[in-house]
Every structure is written in structure tokens, then in C-alpha cells.
Amino acid sequence: MNIGPNLESLVRSIAPIRILGRNLNLESISNHQITDQYLGWLRNKEVNKFLEFDKDQITFEAVVSYINSLRSRENCDLLAVTSNDDGRHIGNISITELSKETGHATYGIMIGEKSDPLANIAGSEATLLIIDYLFSFDFISQIHEGAHIENKRASSLLRKIGFLPLSDAPDDQDIQRYFLTKTEWLERSTRFSSMFRPNNH
């Protein structure tokens, strides 16, 4: 697949993150994963209908600019969701906040490759992996995430994990914001272990 021109010099380097799961891995996105396939996800109405971004600005340069903007913030990054058998790129997770000052972390998830054999479980496993990773930071006490009011599957998953609504009503873009406390996660995480932890854990 084609990648954009001169991405080697455009994507800002950071200390890479790598999180191993049962069927998936999360890893700092690299140049070779910024492909036509990735841009195709962003242009696909079934994939992007619940995403918050400028859908008229889907270019290699815009993607690189977004990644570099994330990586300019402390502890933030864009992670590729990949299969742990052959490294297929299935989706992405953005860490948009990981703050010592507030004690809060925020993430967003996109599963782009809807036809992949792991697509049906990728959202759940990747969500559990990123939550477990974010709460591994001692200074994080809450995780925030949003779901469009029409995205019933995402809202159901968040509630099942233990997220609660931040407010009684969605915001002006029809996004319901949720939060999860570290205490709640520590009480619940063991029941989800078989869904995301590697088999040797």
C-alpha cells in the first residue's frame, strides 16, 4: 500500500508504547502504518460516522499533523491496533490526555478494518487493554471517554465495564461523555481478564 511522501521525516519520534493482549497488540503507530488503507477508513462513512474530526481534510499530511500534535503533548500518542498473529493493522486508539495535574486520562478508539476476522472483538479487547494501561499510571484516578448517542454498542460496552455518564445529557455534538474511576476498575477488572489479558497471564 502507498504511504505519503517523506513520512520518515514528518512523523515525530517518541519512546514507543507496546501493549500486548490476548488477540491484539497496541503499539505506537509507525510510518509504514500510515497508508491508503488508513485514509480509506477515515473516508468510509460506516467507520467515520461517529468520529469527531474534519471529514473534508483527510490527507496524509493531515494525518501526520494530527499524530505530531498528539505527540507534542505529554504522554499522548496514537496507537495502532494490530493482530498479534501477523501484525495486521485493524484500527487505532488515541491517547488525548494523560495528566498528572488533573489525574485524568482520555482516549478514543476507531476500528477501521470491519471485514477483519477480529473486528467483532477488537473494540472490546482494545478498550480493555487501553484502560488497563492508563490505570497503570499511579497518578491517574479517572478515565474519560465519549460515545455518540446513536452508537449503542459503544455505550453498552462502556457501561458494562463500569463507566458512568459525566452528565445527564449529551453535549451539543450528541456525544455522551462517560468516566471510570480506578477504584471501580480494580474491583471489576478480574472479571474481564479472559477477554484481553495474554494467555500466559
pLDDT in tens, 13-43: 667 899 999 999 999 998 889 989 888 888 8
Whether the full predicted model's pTM is greater than 0.85, yes or no, is yes
Which CATH number is correct for 7-196, 3.40.630.30, 2.30.40.10, 3.40.50.2300, 3.20.20.80?
Answer: 3.40.630.30
Q: From CA 111, how far away is CA 51, in angstroms rounded?
A: 11
Boundaries of every domain in the chain: 7-196
Q: From CA 54, how far away is CA 175, in angstroms rounded?
A: 16
Write the burial class of residue 46 (CB in 10 Å: 0-12 exposed, 13-18 middle, 19+ buried).
Answer: exposed
Write the burial class of residue 108 (CB in 10 Å: 0-12 exposed, 13-18 middle, 19+ buried).
Answer: middle
pLDDT in tens, 41-63: 888 877 766 565 555 678 888 88
pLDDT in tens, 85-123: 999 999 999 999 999 999 999 999 988 888 889 988 999
171-180 per-residue burial string, b: 16 or more CB within 10 A, e: under 16: eeeebbebbb
Q: From CA 97, how far away is CA 26, in angstroms rounded?
A: 17
Identity of the amino acid at 193? S
Write the burial class of residue 131 (CB in 10 Å: 0-12 exposed, 13-18 middle, 19+ buried).
Answer: buried
